[in-house]
Amino acid sequence: MTARPKIVAINGSERDGNTAHVLRYAAKIAEARGVDFDTVDLRTIRMGPCGPCGDCNRRTVPCVVDDDVPAVVERMSAADGVIYATPVHGFAAGALMQTFIERSGVGYLRFTRPLTNKVGGAIVLARRYSASVAYQHLLMNLLLNRMILVGSGFPAEVHALHVGEAAEDEEGLIHVRRMVDRMIDMIEFLREYRALGGREDALTPRERNERLGLPVENFADEVVDNVHG
């Protein structure tokens, strides 16, 4: 955990477009509250698709595909909050975000769930159709990684087609602002709580298993995750 609170945002758009615009808006809100905001543009990193090995769910060590995904996982793991932001393509999250979810999730995150108890948020850009489908898709993956979601009113869905139109969706941007503000409220709350309790980090999976009375040797619940991807 860094000295100043930090949010890492994952941008799943192929262009410097509406998603990037909304994340710059979110960054300004965060920075005004003393929170660092680090955006990872998936279009600029080396990221391959899942390979043909098909052995993810049996592997006991991380993925062997050699690209920048593990470095992004490290950046998320060092943050207090994580935002997944994606445009809708073909009625669902765009391909870059889907690839990232597959590669980071099954390849790395499933082993120790390093995003446990970080504050999660989702932002979806769409012309109009299926924003809610993509939003739920992102939420399920934030929850799979045991992140904490804060209620922030209506979903942070921004309606825009051409580059620049996101700035015109005032209602969508209100919900983005509210979500970022509520994420920061929760990050501050958790930091204060941990400081008062003398704890710097969230529970590790091993500590959590001990507390729940589950086996700590082989992380029984991780095995279930492994089976179901």
Ligand X SMILES: Cc1cc2nc3c(=O)[nH]c(=O)nc-3n(C[C@H](O)[C@H](O)[C@H](O)COP(=O)(O)O)c2cc1C
Q: Which residue, judged by CB position, is nearest to ligand X in the bound state?
A: 17
Nearer to ligand X, 92 or 149 (CB): 92
91 versus 193: smaller Cβ distance to ligand X: 91
Kindly give, in sequence order, each residue whose CB lies less than 8 Å from that of residue 192, ignoring residues fewer than 6 positions away: none
Q: Nearest CA to 203 among 74, 104, 72, 114?
A: 114
- Considering the complex, what minimum distance in angstroms separates the CB of residue 119 from ligand X? 23
For ligand X, the closer CB: 57 or 132: 132
Q: Which is nearer to ligand X, 153 or 164 (CB)?
A: 164
Backbone angles phi, psi at 152, to 5 degrees: -140, 30
Give the footprint of ligand X on this chain (CB under 6 A).
13, 15, 17-19, 87-91, 125-130, 160-161, 163
Provide DSSP, 18-73: HHHHHHHHHHHHHHHTT-EEEEEEGGGS--PPP-S---TTT-SS-----SSHHHHH
Q: Is the Cβ of residue 65 or residue 133 nearer to ligand X in the bound state?
A: 133
Q: How far apart are CA 149 and CA 143, in angstroms?
A: 8
DSSP 109: I
Least gap, CB of 200 to ligand X (angstroms): 36
Question: Least Å distance between CB 164 and ligand X?
Answer: 9
| C-beta of 80 vs 169, nearer to ligand X | 169
CB of 179 to ligand X, least distance (A): 17
**Ranges of H-type helices in the chain:** 18-32, 69-77, 95-104, 110-112, 131-144, 170-196, 205-212, 220-228
In the complex, what is the shortest distance from the CB of residue 195 to ligand X, in angstroms, rounded to a whole number? 37
Q: Taking the complex as a whole, how short is the minimal distance between the CB of residue 19 and ligand X, in angstroms? A: 3
